[in-house]
């Protein structure tokens, strides 16, 4: 079963959440983060993990693994235009992991917390029964809405809205495990600047973790629309073609829907118009290359 199917299955039960008691759930599973209300205060919350052999290759330095585990979550905060508040982490260690590597992992989380201004305030350290059990680092983050109070979701794109992206695409993850996914800077500042600059013209947003085709598809689906990408406009990273730019995961740039032209850059990062939202029907996500239109609705990165 693919993650997306299971998530769809879980989201079917969102109506139950209200019956659960506990916090009021303002935004349930299905977006980059959930939004809950605690004693009148809106809090964003999300969890994400990295698994050895899936999200990082054997031999990746511990500080880079720790950084990525936190950065993935910070990128989800950016997608909602939130501001990081704090994080908690659990780590499941291979039984044979030497002490100096465990310490390096803890140091790496601490260093990343400083960089991303998101203190790691608690968690749990466990050990696999197996000497070679796969290292799993799971991080949960809390965030607050930014200064305007606006939380931007995946839903809300309108027909005619422009699909825009920050930065460059296609070099997040390489098949050997290298790539920007180990060193990217989540686009918190860019997201807050977009809210500030575009105001109500910013209709929907997501971070590109599964590839632009899939993530623009998430925007389209949540908004009940289709989206057409202009292949010639894609800000391809050096060495990346259009397929890599829309199909590679882990770019951790922002994709957003906006009414009218966006600024050409925000917080020092270029912004590129790469497509347009349109009425549903035909391909949910397509890429136009010259006169050809490629259906890429099924393309993209499933982490598994």
Q: Whose CA is closest to 44, among 75, 71, 3, 12?
A: 75
Binding of residue 43 to its own copies (CB under 8 A): yes
Letters for 20-39 (x = contact with its own copies by CB under 8 A, - = none) are: xxxx-x--xx---xx-x-xx
Letters for 258-297 (x = contact with its own copies by CB under 8 A, - = none) are: ----------------------------------------
Min dist. Cβ of residue 47 to its own copies (A): 4
Binding of residue 89 to its own copies (CB under 8 A): yes
Q: CA 181, CA 168: separation in Å to the nearest integer?
A: 13
Q: How far is CA 244 from the centre of its chain?
A: 17
Nearer to its own copies, 7 or 159 (CB): 7
Indicate which single residue of 62, 78, 113, 193 sits in contact with its own copies (rule: CB under 8 A).
113
How does strand 254-258 pair with strand 202-207? antiparallel
At residue 304's C-alpha, the angle toward residues 114 and 185, to 5°, is: 25
Min dist. Cβ of residue 41 to its own copies (A): 5
Q: Are 108 and 67 in contact (CB under 8 A)?
A: yes
Tokens of 73: 């979550």
Longest Cα separation, the chain = 58
Nearer to its own copies, 17 or 259 (CB): 17
* Span interacting with its own copies, options 47-55, 193-201, 251-259, 260-268, rule CB under 8 A: 47-55
Indicate which single residue of 84, 108, 167, 172 sits in contact with its own copies (rule: CB under 8 A).
84
C-alpha distances in Å from residue 187, one per residue of 44, 69, 72, 115, 147: 16, 15, 11, 13, 16
Helix or strand run (H / E) with residue 120 = strand 120-127
Q: Are 164 and 274 in contact (CB under 8 A)?
A: yes
Min dist. Cβ of residue 123 to its own copies (A): 5
Backbone conformation region of residue 128, classed left if phi is above 0, alpha if psi is from -120 to 50, else beta:
beta
* Span interacting with its own copies, options 15-23, 178-186, 263-271, 293-301, rule CB under 8 A: 15-23
Q: Are 108 and 62 in contact (CB under 8 A)?
A: yes
Indicate which single residue of 80, 81, 118, 162 sits in contact with its own copies (rule: CB under 8 A).
118
Letters for 119-158 (x = contact with its own copies by CB under 8 A, - = none) are: x-xxxxxxxxxx--xx-x-x-x-x-x--------------
* Span interacting with its own copies, options 109-117, 222-230, 243-251, 280-288, rule CB under 8 A: 109-117
Binding of residue 7 to its own copies (CB under 8 A): yes
């Amino acid at each position: 079963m693919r993650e997306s199917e299971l998530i769809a299955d879980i989201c079917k039960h969102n109506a139950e959440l209200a019956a659960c008691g506990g916090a009021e759930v303002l935004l349930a599973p299905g977006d980059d983060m959930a939004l809950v209300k605690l004693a009148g205060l809106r809090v964003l919350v999300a969890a994400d993990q990295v698994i050895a052999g899936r999200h990082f290759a054997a031999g990746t330095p511990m500080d880079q693994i720790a950084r990525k585990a936190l950065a993935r979550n910070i990128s989800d905060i950016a997608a909602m235009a939130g501001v990081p508040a704090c994080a908690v982490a659990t780590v499941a260690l291979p039984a044979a992991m030497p002490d100096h590597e465990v310490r390096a992992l803890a140091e790496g989380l601490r260093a990343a917390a400083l960089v991303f201004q998101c203190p790691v305030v608690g968690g749990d350290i466990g050990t696999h029964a197996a000497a070679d059990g796969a290292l799993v680092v799971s991080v949960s983050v809390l965030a607050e809405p930014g200064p305007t109070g606006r939380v931007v979701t995946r839903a809300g794109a309108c027909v005619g809205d422009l699909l825009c992206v920050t930065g460059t695409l296609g070099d997040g993850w390489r098949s050997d495990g290298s790539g920007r996914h180990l060193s990217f800077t989540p686009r918190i500042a860019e997201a807050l600047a977009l809210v500030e600059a575009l105001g109500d013209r910013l209709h929907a947003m997501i971070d590109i973790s599964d590839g632009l085709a899939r993530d623009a598809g998430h925007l389209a689906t949540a908004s009940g629309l289709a989206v057409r990408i202009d292949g010639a406009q894609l800000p391809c990273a050096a060495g990346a073609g259009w397929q890599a730019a829309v199909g590679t995961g882990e770019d951790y740039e922002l994709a957003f829907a906006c009414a009218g032209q966006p600024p050409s850059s925000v917080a020092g990062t270029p912004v590129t118009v790469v497509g347009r939202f349109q009425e549903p029907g035909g391909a949910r996500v397509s890429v136009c290359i010259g006169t050809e239109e490629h259906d890429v609705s099924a393309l993209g990165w499933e982490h598994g």
